[in-house]
Amino acid sequence: MGVVIRGIALPQREEVSFVLDGDRLRAGSSTEDAVIDGGWLLPGLVDVHSHPGMEKPGDAYDHDVFRRHMLEHRAAGVLVVRSPGSPDPVPDRPEDPDLPRLYRSGRWLATPGRFFEGYGRRITEDELPAAAVEEASSGWCKIIGDWEQDFPAVPLDVLTETIDAVHAAGGRVAVHCQTPEGNRNAVLAGADSIEHGMNLDHALLPQMAAQGTVLVPTMTTFSRIAANADNGPERFRAWIQAGWDGLFPTVRAAHEAGVTVLAGTDSLPCGGVIEEISWLVKAGMPVEAALGAGSWTARSWLGLPGLVDGGFADVVAYDADPVLDPSVLQKPRRIILRGNVIA
């Protein structure tokens, strides 16, 4: 018989008992001692916007840095990482069983005047549809939909053609948005996810909810940008501060409108999704919804099972209910990844 896990599973709040069967959970019990006996169980935390493998924009991909970043995620109980936009030049790098499960997009797709100079895959607007289909070979692609406040966003017709082409090929599209025009074009074009969403017009929220476009507000990184904005020009400071202040009502309004809001950090150190969950709570999301945004809701959106018979043997245990006491997220009692006891 295999090793046993027992406890109260979230979000169902039901007592469960599983036997580890390789990297899968099997409902049942065993005469052997339980590796987890009691406590509150999550199927691991999820960071849906992280860029492991680089320290700052412009860095080339470094696999040693990637491993360090992913181990930082794992130590925090983050067992799934989505990387929307990657400097990794290998589109289908073999998965490392010691590291969290990785869902990566291809390289950032940047048209002229948008994104950090010389970074990402530089293409023209005419080349965007075909390039997006190529980069989405692993399932996702990431488009830089806009950039600075005074520069126009990718035109609606170009973005619509691109997203339609990726969807026809079976892929999904994440769009970087931080201007009103960029957000508008991404939503109207049918993007699968809005990354950042600063300056998002709330009138777009019903359409986002209806078509399943999720919002990843990355409040963690914007909190740091706003805190350091004094180093920039006055117009930049005003723009960033207004955008940061506006994220709070945007997150609350999006949740209330039925838009799926997910937790992503876009920031170092890796493993900081717990901070992002706390920002979502401060913005007005109920604690359980914010926790789901960084756990079971995010997993479901990525097509991953939770703590169910036959699901992945990815489990993080806590001594108290993290919905009632989110501080326990900082101190996981036990971490199991792919059926292996990590801590």
Cross-strand bridge partners of residue 141 = 173
Residues of the chain with CATH 2.30.40.10: 4-43+305-341
Residue 338 to residues 124, 193, 254: CA-CA distances in angstroms? 42, 27, 34
Mean pLDDT computed over 222-242: 86
In sequence order, what are the residues at sequence separation of 6 or more whose Cβ sits closer than 8 angstroms to the Cβ of residue 91?
106, 135, 137, 138
* Token digits of residue 341: 């006891």
For 106, list phi and psi in degrees, rounded to 5.
-75, -160
Percent of the chain with pLDDT over 90: 83
Element (H, E) at 108: strand 101-110
* Residues 140 and 172: beta-carbon distance below 8 Å: yes
CA-nearest of 262, 236, 157, 248 to 202 is 248
pLDDT for 1 beyond 60: no
pLDDT for 101 beyond 60: yes
Topology of the domain comprising 4-43+305-341 = Urease, subunit C; domain 1 (2.30.40)
Topology of the domain comprising 45-301 = TIM Barrel (3.20.20)
pLDDT for 219 beyond 70: yes
Residues of the chain with CATH 3.20.20.140: 45-301
Q: What are 15-39's pLDDT values in tens digits?
A: 999 999 999 999 987 666 778 888 9
Average pLDDT of the chain? 94
Q: What are 155-182's pLDDT values in tens digits?
A: 999 999 999 999 999 999 999 999 999 9
Name the DSSP letter for residue 261.
B
| Predicted local distance difference test score (pLDDT) of residue 319 | 96
